[in-house]
Amino acid sequence: MAVLERRFISITISLACIFTMMAGGAFAQTKDKEAVPTPFQARVIVTPLGTGFQSSALDIPAGKRFVIKNVSVITRSPEGMRMEVNFFTYIDRNGDNVGDIADITFNRIVLVDQGVFDGVQLAAANHEVLVFADELIGTNHYKVVAQARLNGMPPADAFSQAQFTFSGYLEDVPPPR
């Protein structure tokens, strides 16, 4: 009987240890989760009117860095026309904690012609990239800006559109260096 009791006590203590370890593990997981970057993806549409660049901005959540891992683009131009597309972002490249012209970078898109579909010239791109887009540098706020222009003036009422999809994750903008 005494042996059984001791065994029971021993099992109880072992179980208590396991529960404590599990609780500790759960706490560690919760802490790790906070450090896991948040998936983020969004779409932005630009409507070019002619040879001048038109742009559209994609909001980045406040105080976050959008780490862009992939950009997908489709352009719809009048038949026989082409489009030039790019996007630009900001990171404090010169490390002065001031948003300035040194902090902008441009990223060009290499479009591949897909042919004409119902009178619309399609071109597409899908790029795996690594591009940093900070929402905040010092006291200045920034977005991802997508741009597009046509290689000529389109016919009246022609349909033109560049559609961008950015995918990646968000992390906190690190404190100034």
Map residues 1-40 to x or -, x wherever contact with Ca ion holds by CB under 5 A.
----------------------------------------
Looking only at the bridges linking them, the beta strands covering 112-117 and 83-90 are unpaired
Choose which of 40, 92, 133, 148 interacts with Ca ion (CB under 5 A). Answer: 92
Could you say whether residue 51 binds Ca ion (CB under 5 A)? no
Could you tell me which residues come within 8 angstroms of residue 139 by beta carbon, excluding any fewer than 6 positions away? 99
Q: Which is nearer to Ca ion, 70 or 140 (CB)?
A: 140
Residue 155 exposure: Cα atoms within 13 Å on the Cβ side: 9
Could you say whether residue 171 binds Ca ion (CB under 5 A)? no
Beta-ladder partners of 164:
44, 73
Q: Which is nearer to Ca ion, 37 or 176 (CB)?
A: 176
Q: Which stretch binds Ca ion (CB under 5 A): 16-24, 38-46, 95-103, 121-129?
A: 95-103
Write down the H helix ranges in 83-149: none
Nearest to 88 by CA among 72, 61, 68: 68
Could you say whether residue 140 binds Ca ion (CB under 5 A)? no
In the complex, which residues of this chain contact Ca ion (CB under 5 A)? 92, 94, 96, 98, 100, 103
